[in-house]
Structure 1
Amino acid sequence: MSSSLEGTCALTHLGAIRAHGEEAARFLHSQLTQDTVLMRPDEARLAAFCTAKGRMLASFVVVARDPQDFLLVTARDLLPPTLKRLSMFVLRSKVKLTDATADVDLVGLAGSAAAPSEGLAPWQKREAGPAQVVRLYPADGVPRALWIAPPGTPAPAGATLTADDWAWGEVRSGIAPVTAATVEAFVPQMLNYESVGGVNFKKGCYPGQEVVARSQFRGTLKRRAFLVHAEGVLRAGQEVFHGGDPEQPAGQVALAAPAPGGGFDAIVAIQLSATQGGQLTAGSVDGPALTLLPLPYALLADI
């Protein structure tokens, strides 16, 4: 795998849910951790869909194509159950939810290929002909973007990145999406979503809102997401152990990818106490040793 994150990647592991109708914005507003009613035309949103206990069932990049037409880009393996569950809450709302995966091409852009998003802040978007481009968080300073376009629309020119290349960039950005391996494993703050624009604490109710708010404002959050490196293989869903308490896991791997220089990099959600010293390992107390790395952004509580 190339050590240079430069080029384009067809994001076949992602899909899209379409929410269309005169009450689409208000419906999504009532279900997600983000404000969709006040979304500006130049904005996208990182958002989570949670259980009543605040556990994340899915995460999305939410894009408004017009005031009544939204796309929710999410993990393809989670799309069917997520669409089914969201549809349970439609009731009499004037909104239609459909699987729009076949209606769009989703391409990741990195380095110079992300030029169509130049000048945008993370989660801002702009039109690029028939396409929409959303600025993502960078990976080690390398700009990244999400390209959403009708099928067959030419994406920006660039070398072809592999799925592992893109996944490594996702890890290095510090933002872990929910996948099938991590469904209901985390409340949003365990993945630092409140620090990267994934939670709006001023909006109204949504499933799990009380738990999410209580975690933020009552100091009950005991786990955060951190970057780690290991010489052994890591994978999403693995438990993380701390040498000081080998009988029970201290956290879980949220996202992992092969590192260009060898080994694996990962985002792990672990107990804050486990970061204060002692050995961290993945899979078991005898598993690959984890080395903590600096986060690429400041945590909201630390600002």
Structure 2
Amino acid sequence: MKKNIFFNKNWIFLQNQLFSICIKNNIKNFFVPLTNLGLLEFSGHDAASFLHNQLTNSVKYLSTEKTQLAGYCSSKGKLLVTMILWKIDNKIILLFPYELLSSFQKKIKIFILRSKVKFKDITHKHLIFGLIGKKIAYFLKTWFPNLPKKPYDKIDNVFGTLIRITNFNEIPRYQWITANNIIGIKIWEILIKKFPVANTFEWSFFDIQSGIPQITLETQEKFIPQMINFELIGGIDFKKGCYPGQEIIARMQYLRKIKYRMMLAVINFTNENKNIIFFIKPGVNIFSEENSIKPCGKIVNTVKIEDNKINCLVKVKLDYIQNKKKIYINSVHRLLLVFQKLPYFIVNI
């Protein structure tokens, strides 16, 4: 796979120099070069129907004004990738972590067989920006006079694709996928003069606070979609028919066997136990106060913005949340997870 040359020469260097200052300083308008994301383009007569039969959400009838969340699962119903996808003309674009592109391509290629479908990595041809703030929204009207109004609405024009994603505390957020490198670099030069630039950790913070999970290398095949609230945020269509793992996912839904849910939590630590923050990462088990041997859940995503705090999404047993049990990272360090409210309702609680 080829990554964007501009990423390699400029953005990756810049990301390493950036500190999480926008959130710390309560800056409400800034942008982020999303160097951690990649793009796959699917084309061909059977592209929509092929993806419809592979992903957790409906693709066949996707309009050109909408994007949607979807997942790709193993035959056991465990998520391999979570993504945003959309349609442009007769092409379907998938946006998800760049680190998963290679494994996804190898897996999906097996199932194409005689279908009239082609796919290619187009990451290197685009620049991807995350943007947040009301002033930035007004600024975007220069290129997109009619901004997308609701989360997962989108607008396409010669400057690229602008997607409205979930708000943060009523502050609008967007992802801008530029039409090509030339336009992207010019946009970068304009943005950097007008607004502060943040790193990808700060963007992840907003996704975590919004309760939007993302599968990573560490968590592939660890979660059935409902365990991380994927149907609650619009990532599953239970009426669309078969796809890998569909039977297991449907059985869990209709037989009410959802024993785990994803929760928002904060882990506070002091200078004395600061050295263990490197062990708090996606895929790590969590334990209850009653049982330090058998895990009661697993970390889904984490981000460290403040000096002595880690924000995270965790899969946890519903019984423990309902009974307000204390839950820790492990029995040795005893770092407590302090649970917070998600911005959406969990029906099982």
TM-score by length of 1: 0.93
Kindly indicate whether residue 52 of structure 2 is the aligned counterpart of residue 52 of structure 1: no
Q: Number of residue pairs matched?
A: 301
Q: What's the counterpart of residue 279 of structure 1?
A: 326
Q: What's the counterpart of residue 4 of structure 2?
A: none
Note closer, same or farther for the CA distance 1:119–1:264 as it changes in structure 2 (3 Å cut): same
Q: Summarize deviations over 1:206-232 as a string: whole Å, max 9, x none.
A: 001111111111111111111000113
Note closer, same or farther for the CA distance 1:285–1:187 as it changes in structure 2 (3 Å cut): farther
| 3-state SS, counterpart of residue 297 of structure 1 | coil
- Listed as ranges, the matches of 1:1-303 within 5 Å are 1=20, 2-3=22-23, 4=26, 5-66=28-89, 68-112=90-134, 113-115=136-138, 116=140, 118=147, 120-149=149-178, 150-152=180-182, 153=184, 154=187, 157=191, 158-232=195-269, 233=277, 234-260=280-306, 262-275=308-321, 276-284=323-331, 286-299=333-346
Q: 2:299–2:315: 8 Å Cα contact kept in structure 1?
A: yes
Report the Cα offset of residue 278 of structure 1.
2.0
Q: Summarize deviations over 1:29-67 as a string: whole Å, max 9, x none.
A: 00000111111111111000001110000111102112x
Report the Cα offset of residue 179 of structure 1.
0.6
CA RMSD of aligned residues (A): 1.9
Note closer, same or farther for the CA distance 1:27–1:143 as it changes in structure 2 (3 Å cut): same
**Whole-Å separation in 1 of the counterparts to 2:308 and 2:158:** 39
- Structure 1 unaligned blocks of 5 or more: none
Q: 2:292–2:330: 8 Å Cα contact kept in structure 1?
A: no
Note closer, same or farther for the CA distance 1:284–1:146 as it changes in structure 2 (3 Å cut): farther
**Whole-Å separation in 1 of the counterparts to 2:301 and 2:330:** 14
Report the Cα offset of residue 128 of structure 1.
4.7
Report the Cα offset of residue 262 of structure 1.
4.0
Q: Summarize deviations over 1:252-302 as a string: whole Å, max 9, x none.
A: 111111144740110101110121212111244534211000011123567
Q: 2:267–2:311: 8 Å Cα contact kept in structure 1?
A: yes
Letter paired with 1:184: E
Higher share in helix: 2
Report the Cα offset of residue 6 of structure 1.
2.9
Q: Summarize deviations over 1:140-171 as a string: whole Å, max 9, x none.
A: 33321211112242168332011221111111
Q: 1:48–1:198: 8 Å Cα contact kept in structure 2?
A: yes
Report the Cα offset of residue 120 of structure 1.
2.0
Note closer, same or farther for the CA distance 1:80–1:114 as it changes in structure 2 (3 Å cut): farther
Letter paired with 1:191: I
**Whole-Å separation in 2 of the counterparts to 1:73 and 1:300:** 29
Q: 1:137–1:173: 8 Å Cα contact kept in structure 2?
A: yes
| Pair member with larger Rg | 2
Letter paired with 2:111: F
Q: Structure 1 residues 173-182 or 97-106, which shifts more? A: 97-106
Note closer, same or farther for the CA distance 1:208–1:124 as it changes in structure 2 (3 Å cut): same
TM-score by length of 2: 0.81
Note closer, same or farther for the CA distance 1:51–1:268 as it changes in structure 2 (3 Å cut): same
Report the Cα offset of residue 198 of structure 1.
0.5
Letter paired with 2:166: Y
| 3-state SS, counterpart of residue 82 of structure 2 | strand
